[in-house]
């Protein structure tokens, strides 16, 4: 029997993988993918909790979250293009002009 | 399944609709006619029109039942504040962006979109609208921060802001999903009633949810320990946008946090006071100490803005009617100070090069008397010297904390103000020292100078005669549910 | 019924078997002489030069980003389509406003020259 808890664990696991990846990886595109993973982890838990509480607001929230994620990725990709054009690198450790 | 149609009240959201349409119109005019002046005029007109509409909304209270938006004095107050911040930002940008190679046809409409995000954020009565407006605000800000496409620091700042902002938004989203799961609704009113019946501040789930939402919102207000993006982003962004970011965006999220703690989360909040106490102390202390060490004026002000977030958090800890009034007052005053400070720096820009290093400000007063005087007034106000608006703000804030029994917090706040005196006055004295090298810069941007001078006068006026503003703030706070 | 499907399955099997057998036989029986020319990625055309992960024109990215946004926007039509009848005129008006804004965005992208394949 698959219960709401299972889905919540799945959602949290996705979210956790995203957080770990975000903190450990160095490529900007991979970082954006990790954020996407986190958002979708939240989406899974939304849908699961939605089924449990029986209200539809969570489902609507997931649709909006998907669009928001796409918008963030679109802006992110454009910035990545700018950065690649100016420096030919996508390593976050190279984003180091601004510090202290 | 029955679908409850929401009561459509277009009159209540007319100002927001006006800002939206003018922003879209601005973008289209840019695409079709490539006329910067027209885009500027359209954007400014949209802001002013919305401002007038809001002024006519003052005093007409009413949270619409089941609606996503609240239109009451509290939201109208903040909406007017954001519109004024946006107008000031536009006027201060006018010369700066011509100098530094920004595509202005997109710049002004994006300011409108960011303002719309702030406006909807303070008005939202539903977690969905709250999330969407935070994202509208943030995404517009990412682009604005990166709008100097040829400058590497601007690119870098935008990338960092986007990565950290998206990371924070994901936390916020997960937190919202848990709160939704614990209460079965995303509407503030329904969450409140669901939480009201629960003993001990609600189930464990809601506290995890609130913690994750706090991480997300804490990033947006740059509160320590979620502040590490702020100095880099404030430093790399175009200077007028730094002002916009550090005032508008921060105040919008603070206004939302105050509303959240008042309305849906008043029951579980009692267990979070200690956390906010720690955040307030950390933000004040770390912000001020780090600002002491800076050699770059923009970074110094960035750290000082983290410290000011800490001061506002004092009111969040105290959290009664008096503290709310103090918070609103401080936010208004801080908005004026932040815009003035970054506006003055923007006015000193010279072509591609900007003057950020502290050495560049030596003897500034001899070549740029107006900028130097206004910046001095602003720095005195930021430090909280009497007869300036900053003093009034801090006075109300600390006395509200003392009256609510948080004497320790007030003492730490006063000590921090003393630390901040050192670097604010250091910069000020430097401006009146004899110049070692002749300072030469841009011409004399009339509009920008006028705007900065007005803001400087406002700081002094509010410092001497604050009672009209206080009266307005009292009415605004009265619109909120009693605590 | 089962025999009916069995015929199709058998056809697939035979169809897979015949070419498989042919390839198998040719690898066993055929001569294998590896020359440097053959080790190159392609046996005809120019010699490969430069790394495989070359830069490619920015227009692909522009189109991809545009697709990403517009594709996801369409997700909002889905709930409306499911509840089309119940939402009636209210839903229709709401979606028209939404479509108007998406259309304006497309118009903007068009005028900005994103759609032109330069």
Q: Is the pLDDT of residue B442 over 90?
A: no
Q: Does the beta-carbon distance from B162 to A76 stay under 8 Å?
A: yes
DSSP H helices, A25-56, are 28-53
CB of B7 less than 8 A from some CB of C: no
B367-391 confidence digits (pLDDT tens): 888 888 999 999 999 999 999 999 9
Chain C residues with CB under 8 Å of B24 CB are 101, 104
Choose, out of C55, C68, C71, C95, the residue to mutate when testing the contact with A (most A CBs < 10 Å).
Answer: C68
pLDDT at B82: 97
Provide the domain limits for residue B412.
Answer: 272-483
Q: Is C60 on the interface with A (CB under 8 A)?
A: no
Residue B419 clears pLDDT 80, i.e. is over it: yes
C-alpha B470/C-alpha B402 separation (Å) is 19
Give residues with Cβ within 8 angstroms of B262, minimum separation 6: B324, B480, B481, B483
Any idea what the CATH number is for the domain that residue C38 is in? 1.20.58.1610
CB B394 within 8 A of CB B310: no
Q: How many domains does chain B have?
A: 1
Indicate whether C116 belongs to any domain. no
Top pLDDT among B393 and C54 is at B393
Is residue C117 situated within a structural domain?
A: no
Using DSSP, state whether A34 is helix, strand or coil: helix
Report the percent of chain A where pLDDT is more than 70. Answer: 96
pLDDT score at B65: 53
Report the number of distinct structural domains present in chain C: 1
Within a domain: residue B283?
Answer: yes
Asked if A65 is an interface residue toward chain C (Cβ–Cβ < 8 A), one would say no
Range ranked top by mean pLDDT from A86-100, B155-169, B424-438, C40-54 = B155-169
| Cα–Cα dist B206/B457, whole Å | 46
Tens-place pLDDT, residues B134-188: 999 999 999 999 998 888 888 889 999 999 999 999 999 999 999 998 888 888 8
pLDDT band (50, 70, 90) for residue B1:
very low
CB contact under 8 A, A63 and C64: no
Distance CA B310, CA A80 (A): 33
Q: How far is C112 from chain B (nearest CA, A)?
A: 6
Over residues B329-347, the pLDDT tens digits come to: 999 999 999 999 999 988 8
* Mean pLDDT estimate for chain B: 88
Fold (CATH) for A4-89: Helix Hairpins (1.10.287)
Q: What is the pLDDT of residues B304-337, one digit of tens each?
A: 999 999 999 999 998 888 999 999 999 999 999 9
Assess if residue B102 is contained within a domain: no
What is residue B249's DSSP assignment? I
pLDDT over 70 for what percent of chain B?
Answer: 92
Q: Could you tell me which residues are beta bridge partners of residue B126?
A: B187
Do residues B251 and B328 touch, judged by C-beta distance below 8 A? no
Which 3 state secondary structure label does DSSP give B35?
coil
Asked if pLDDT for residue C70 goes beyond 50, the answer is: yes
Q: Each residue of B77-97: pLDDT tens digit? A: 999 999 999 999 999 998 888
List the Cα angle B137/A66/B158 in 5-degree steps. 40
Percent of chain A surpassing pLDDT 90: 49
Banded model confidence at residue B7, pLDDT cuts 50, 70, 90: low
Q: What is the pLDDT of residue C42?
A: 60
pLDDT band at C117 (very low <50, low <70, confident <90, very high): confident
- Separation CA C12–CA C6 (nearest Å): 10
Q: Are B29 and B38 in contact (CB under 8 A)?
A: yes
Does residue B214 register a pLDDT over 60?
Answer: yes
Tell me whether residue B455 is in a domain: yes
- Number of Cβ atoms within 10 Å of the Cβ of C36: 6
B420 pLDDT above the threshold of 90:
yes
Which domain covers residue C11, as residue numbers? 2-111
Q: Do the Cβ atoms of B180 and A46 come closer than 8 Å?
A: yes
- Rounded to the nearest angstrom, the minimum Cα separation between C76 and chain A is 7
pLDDT for residue B36: 86
Q: What is the pLDDT of residues B21-36, one digit of tens each?
A: 999 999 999 999 888 8
Closest CA to B428 of B482, B475, B381: B381
Q: Which has more pLDDT, B163 or B10?
A: B163
Alpha carbon distance B327, B394 (integer Å): 9
Helix segments in chain C, DSSP class H: 2-29, 36-39, 58-73, 77-82, 84-111
Q: Which residue has the higher pLDDT, B71 or A97?
A: B71
């Amino acid at each position: 029997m698959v219960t709401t808890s299972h889905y919540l664990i799945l959602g949290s696991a996705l979210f956790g993988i995203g957080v770990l990846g975000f903190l450990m990886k160095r490529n900007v595109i991979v970082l954006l993918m990790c954020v996407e993973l986190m958002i979708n982890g939240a989406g899974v838990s939304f849908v699961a909790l939605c089924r449990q509480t029986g209200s539809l607001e969570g489902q609507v929230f997931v649709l909006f979250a998907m669009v928001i994620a796409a918008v963030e990725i679109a802006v992110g990709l454009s910035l990545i293009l700018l950065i690649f054009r100016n420096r030919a690198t996508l390593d976050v450790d190279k984003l180091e002009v601004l510090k202290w | 399944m029955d679908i409850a149609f929401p009561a459509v009240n277009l009159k209540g959201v007319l100002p927001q609709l006006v800002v939206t349409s003018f922003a879209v119109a601005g973008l289209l005019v840019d695409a079709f006619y490539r006329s910067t002046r027209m885009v500027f005029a359209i954007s400014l007109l949209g802001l002013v029109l919305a401002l007038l509409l809001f002024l006519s909304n003052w005093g007409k209270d009413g949270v619409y039942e089941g609606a996503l938006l609240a239109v009451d004095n509290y939201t109208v107050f903040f909406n007017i504040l954001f519109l004024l911040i946006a107008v000031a930002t536009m006027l201060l940008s006018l010369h700066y962006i011509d100098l530094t190679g920004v595509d202005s046809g997109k710049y002004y409409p994006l300011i409108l979109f960011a303002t719309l995000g702030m406006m909807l954020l303070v008005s939202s009565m539903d977690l969905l609208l709250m999330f969407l407006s935070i994202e509208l605000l943030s995404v517009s800000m990412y682009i604005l921060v990166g709008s100097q496409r040829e400058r590497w620091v601007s690119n870098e700042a935008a990338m960092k802001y986007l990565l950290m902002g998206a990371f924070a938004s994901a936390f916020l989203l997960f937190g919202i999903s848990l709160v939704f799961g614990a209460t079965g609704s995303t509407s503030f009113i329904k969450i409140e009633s669901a939480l009201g019946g629960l003993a001990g501040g609600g189930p464990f789930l809601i506290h995890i949810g609130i913690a994750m939402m706090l991480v997300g919102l804490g990033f947006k207000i740059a509160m320590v320990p979620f502040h590490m993006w702020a100095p880099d982003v404030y430093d790399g962004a175009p200077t007028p946008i730094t002002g916009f970011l550090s005032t508008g965006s921060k105040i919008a999220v603070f206004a939302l946090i105050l509303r959240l703690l008042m309305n849906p989360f008043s029951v579980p909040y009692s267990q979070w006071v200690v956390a906010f106490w720690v955040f307030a102390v950390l933000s004040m202390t770390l912000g001020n100490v780090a600002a002491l060490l800076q050699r770059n004026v923009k970074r110094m002000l960035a750290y000082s803005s983290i410290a000011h977030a800490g001061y506002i958090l004092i009111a969040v800890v105290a959290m009664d009617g008096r503290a709310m009034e103090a918070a609103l007052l401080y936010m208004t005053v801080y908005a004026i100070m932040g815009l003035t400070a970054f506006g003055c720096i923007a006015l000193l820009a010279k072509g591609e090069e900007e003057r950020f290093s502290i050495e560049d400000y030596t003897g500034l007063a001899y070549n740029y008397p107006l900028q130097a005087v206004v910046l001095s007034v602003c720095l005195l106000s930021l430090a909280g010297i009497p007869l300036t608006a900053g003093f009034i703000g801090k006075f109300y804030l600390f006395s509200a904390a003392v009256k609510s029994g948080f004497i320790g917090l007030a003492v730490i706040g006063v000590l921090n103000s003393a630390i901040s005196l050192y670097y604010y006055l250091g910069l000020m004295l430097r401006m009146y020292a004899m110049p070692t090298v002749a300072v030469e810069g841009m011409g004399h941007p009339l509009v920008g100078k006028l705007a900065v001078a007005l803001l400087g006068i406002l700081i002094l006026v509010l410092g001497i005669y604050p009672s009209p503003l206080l009266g307005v703030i009292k009415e605004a706070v009265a619109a909120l549910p009693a605590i | 019924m089962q025999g009916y499907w069995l015929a199709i399955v058998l056809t697939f099997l035979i169809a897979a078997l015949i070419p498989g057998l042919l390839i198998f036989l040719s690898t066993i029986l055929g001569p294998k002489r590896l020359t440097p020319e053959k080790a190159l990625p392609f046996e005809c055309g120019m010699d490969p030069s430069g790394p495989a992960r070359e830069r490619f024109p920015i227009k692909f990215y522009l189109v991809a980003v545009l697709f990403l946004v517009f594709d996801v926007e369409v997700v909002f039509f889905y709930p409306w389509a499911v509840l089309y009848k119940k939402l009636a005129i209210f839903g229709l008006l709401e979606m028209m406003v939404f479509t108007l804004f998406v259309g304006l965005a497309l118009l903007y992208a068009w005028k900005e020259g994103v759609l032109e394949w330069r």
